[in-house]
Chain A
């Protein structure tokens, strides 16, 4: 099914998604993008460049930390990893998304089965 996830939703999910991917271990921009498209089965597409302002904001607020390393080909590459603060933020974001998800599930369900509302 061809589906485009709306701009706002993509923006809102960027932070938890990046944090969650970094929870899996240290990573860098390109690999994060690859992981996103892998996880979403290609449904969630970012303009690649837009990831970097997000990463930098998270870094500046101390949720992730960065260091320069080398790629296999020997290029300079910036690696990111999650900090303790980031783990806490991820947890709180997870709770929030869970709440949103549960709310939506409830209302999807009653939308599909309107007669059940009074039960």
Chain B
């Protein structure tokens, strides 16, 4: 090998290195894919050099044949919708697109419609501020002012076909009929329970619209889980901003001797609460990449903290020997604990690259889930004893049912996670378990909405 060959080899390596670095910057193309493409590039170059081309000629031809990297990364992003949501990848077409503007108009119009919807019943003598016992209209219907519009937004955006739209309408019609026809006892628990569970039940209907009616598609379901998490973050951010805005409104109007509290409480607040539901959804759709980094950060931050708290709790309980003081709120508190842990788990699943091998954080995640299960088992044991002593009430049954639903989910997640860490299963099996489990939440929520009231005599 002479000197010129030597130099040309180094320049070729440099060129390939630059090409690799350029490719690595695309988020849709992961490290393993880059390795695969690089192997392709090198094989191609090798073949061309054998055919008589010089190194740099071969490099240029090979790069050209692999194709335009923008198109390629767009193609990868399309293939991996879980990477697509990091939309930065798909380099935006120049300028704001007319579709984007149209979507913004639709979203804002729907947000205004939801604000109108929530104020409209007041014209007919239903008042938001009235005590729950007197007029339960708003309590019964509050999730029905905005969620149908949200479902409509996605049905429009995903162009759900006619059959799909009919399927989509069924849960909403059922909900309207059930909550308004059931002769609820105004002071009863079943009304409140139905009102709390209805948004959960309908959220899954929104999910049906979100995935464009293709319920069987595991990846789209996972996208919906991801969307729900992002939506939640956006909603909280908007709520915080809205709170600051309302506080300032009241403060500055007070300075000129004008009491704006009534205006804020009866107009700005309810309209904002429903409008923000749509706006958050639209923001998640339009600006996916902004929040993209939030979910991993939140899980990385709170998974260790929650784990520490749960361990401290278990240790204290064992150390002091004190039993869980079973009040009614306790069970709900432990349900919420499981919800938070499940939320952390889902965030981390959705933010994780399913192809990367198990790491330290996965172990930590597993420890968190296991410790939550232990804490919950203790609570559940105490509460079952309590129920067998004092009998069933709608609240207890609902809380217990939720606990079981979450326990089954987390329990099997633990098994799958352990198998993944032991190298016996892929991470995808855990994802699939979570997406397959989604209908269970919906079914339980619907049971509480539709079956509980008659079962417990509407009390």
| A33 cross-chain contacts in B, Cβ below 8 A | 40
User: In the complex, what residues of B have CB within 8 A of residue A77's CB?
Assistant: 36, 39
Residues B79 and A57 in contact, CB atoms below 8 Å apart:
yes
**Shortest beta-carbon distance from B431 to chain A in Å:** 12
From B36, B46, B75, name the one whose CB has the most chain A CB atoms within 10 angstroms: B36
CB under 8 Å from chain A, chain B span 398-456:
none
A30 B75 Cβ-Cβ under 8 A:
no
How close is A61's CB to chain B, nearest CB, in angstroms? 10
A53: chain B residues at CB < 8 Å are 75-76, 78-79
From DSSP, what is the main secondary structure of chain B's interface residues?
A: helix
Contact of A76 among B35, B46, B78 (CB under 8 A): B35
Q: Are B43 and A30 in contact (CB under 8 A)?
A: yes
Chain B positions 19-69 with a Cβ under 8 Å from a chain A Cβ: 32-33, 35-40, 42-44, 46-47, 65-69
Give the interface centre of A48, A50, A71, A78 by most chain B CB atoms within 10 Å: A48
Complex Cα–Cα for A75 and B43 (A): 10
Number of contact residues on B: which range applies?
20 to 34
Q: Does B72 contact A (CB under 8 A)?
A: yes
B 216-243 to A, binary, CB cutoff 8 A, 1 in contact else 0 = 0000000000000000000000000000
Given A48-B66, A49-B67, A52-B37, verify A71-B76 contact (CB < 8 Å). Answer: no
A76 proximity list for chain B (CB < 8 A): 35, 39
Report whether B72 and A56 are in contact in the complex, using a CB–CB cutoff of 8 Å.
Answer: no
**Nearest CB of B to A62, in Å:** 11
Contact assessment for B65 and A52 in the assembled complex, using a CB-CB cutoff below 8 Å:
no
By a CB distance below 8 angstroms, the chain A residues around B76 are 52-53, 56
In the complex, which residue of chain B has the Cβ closest to the Cβ of A77? B39
Asked if A47 and B39 make an inter-chain contact with CB atoms under 8 angstroms apart, the answer reads no
- Among A48, A71, A78, point to the contact of B65 (Cβ < 8 A): A48
Known A-B contacts A29-B36, A56-B79, A76-B35; the reply to A50 vs B42 at CB < 8 A is: no
Q: Mark B76-101, 1 if CB is under 8 A from A, else 0.
A: 10111000000000000000000000
Q: Which residue from chain A places its CB closest to the CB of B68 in the assembled complex?
A: A47
Q: Which residues of B contact A75 (CB under 8 A)?
A: 38-39, 42
- Determine the distance from Cα of A33 to Cα of B66 in the docked complex, in whole angstroms: 11
Output the least CB separation between B358 and chain A (Å): 17
Residues of B within 8 A of A28 (CB): 39
- A57, B67: Cα distance in complex, Å: 19
Quick one: CB contact mask for B119-144 with A, threshold 8 Å, 1 for yes? 00000000000000000000000000
Residues of A within 8 A of B72 (CB): 47, 49-50
Nearest to B78 among chain A residues (CB) is A53
Whether the pair A47, B66 counts as a contact (CB closer than 8 A) is yes
Question: Which listed residue, B32, B44, B78, touches A48 by the CB 8 Å rule?
Answer: B44
Which residues of chain B are near A71, meaning CB under 8 Å?
39, 43
How distant is the Cα of A47 from the Cα of B44 in the complex, in angstroms? 13
Residues of chain A within 8 A of B43, CB atoms compared: 30-31, 71
Which chain B positions have C-beta within 8 A of A73?
42, 46
Q: Report the Cα distance A71→B42, complex, angstroms.
A: 11
Measured CB to CB, the closest approach of chain B to A119, in angstroms, equals: 43
Which of B39, B46, B69 meets A78, CB within 8 Å? Answer: B39
* A52–B36 CB distance below 8 A: yes
**A–B Cβ pairs within 8 angstroms, 5 of them:** A30-B40, A48-B40, A49-B40, A49-B66, A52-B40
Starting from the known contacts A29-B39, A47-B65, A47-B71, 8 additional A-B residue pairs (CB-CB under 8 Å) come to: A31-B43, A48-B65, A49-B37, A49-B66, A71-B39, A71-B43, A76-B39, A77-B36
- Residues of A participating in the B interface, judged by any CB pair closer than 8 Å: 28-31, 33-34, 47-50, 52-53, 56-57, 71, 73, 75-78
